[in-house]
Amino acid sequence: MISNQDLAKFRDTLNDTKEDLLNRLSDNQDLWLKHSYHEATGNLSSYDNHPGDEATSLYEREKDIGLYEHYRNEISEIDKALKAMQEGTYGKCHVCSEDIPFERLEALPTTLFCIKHSGTQDTSHNRPVEEGVLMPPFGKFEKDTGEDENVAYDAEDTWQAVAAYGTSESPSDLTWPKDDYNDMYEEAEDKMGYVEAYENFVATDITGKHITIYPNIQHERYEDELDAEGIMAVFGDLPAAEHDPYTEEEAKESERD
C-alpha cells in the first residue's frame, strides 16, 4: 500500500514531467508537424533538391513524427496515472489488482500494471506510416501482376514517363550502361504511348480492314530497321507466298544463287 507521502511524490513527478513535455511541444510548434513538409524544411519545392538532401529531410521528418508520437503517448500515460490517483486505484495492477512493487513505481511512475501484465510484453504490429508509399511500386494493382501481357497503362508505365524527365542515375549505376543520359532508367527503350512501332503510321477500320499507310518519320525509321535485319515484318515467319526477297541485298543474293 502506497503512503500518502509517496503518492504526493509520484503526483508531483508526473505533473512536472507532463509540464516539461507540453513545453517541449509548445516551444517547437508541435515539432512543425502541423505545417506542410515544405514549410517545415523552408523549401518552396523539392524539384531542384538533390535526392540525398531529400532523404535527409525525410529522415528528420520521420524522426519528428516518432518523437511527437512518443511525447503524446507519454502525456496520455501520465493523464491515466493521475486519474488512477483520483480514483484511489494507483499502485494496484489494473488486471490482477495486486500491489505494484514500489521499486517499479519509482522507475516507471506512469505504470498501471505489474510486470506480469505489462503491455510491453505484447508484440506491436504497427508499421511506419511511410511504408504506405515506400512499398514496391509495382505489383500493387491488378494490372501489375504480370500474369498476362497486359498493355494497359500501369504503375511501371507511370514511372517510365516520370523518369524520362531525368533521374539521378549515371551510366555506372545500371547493369547495362546507356548511350544517352536521357535514358538513365531501366527499360528506357520501351515504347511510350504505343505497343508496336507500326501503330504510328498504320490505320485500319474497327474490323482491322482497309489498311492505310501514312508516310512519316516513324514509317521511314521502321523500314530502315526492317532492312537492317533483312526481314519483311516483325510478326514472325511469313506465308510461303510472301517469302520473296524483300531487301535489295536479298534480291541480289537470290539472283546469284
Q: Which domains does the chain have, with CATH numbers?
A: 4-133 (1.20.120.910), 197-257 (no CATH)
Task: Pick the more confident residue, 10 or 256.
Answer: 10
* Residue listed under C-alpha cell 544463287: 257
Q: What integer is the mean pLDDT of 41-62?
A: 83
What confidence tier does 236 reach under pLDDT thresholds 50, 70, 90? Answer: low
Q: Which helix (H) or strand (E) holds 202?
A: strand 202-203
Q: Which three cell numbers stand for residue 139?
A: 505489383
**Rounded (5°) CA angle 77-28-33:** 80
To the nearest 10 degrees (0 to 180), the angle between helices 4-27 and 51-87 is 150
The pLDDT, as a whole number, for residue 249 is 66
What confidence tier does 192 reach under pLDDT thresholds 50, 70, 90? Answer: low
DSSP state, residue 148:
S
Q: Residue 193 above 70 pLDDT?
A: no
Report the candidate in 163, 197, 198 with the shortest Cα–Cα distance to residue 181: 163
Q: Residue 80 above 90 pLDDT?
A: yes
Dist CA 68 CA 255 (whole Å): 83
The pLDDT, as a whole number, for residue 246 is 53
For all residues of the chain together, what is the average pLDDT? 78
Distances in whole angstroms, Cα of residue 257 to Cα of each of 130, 151, 246, 251, 252: 68, 44, 16, 10, 9
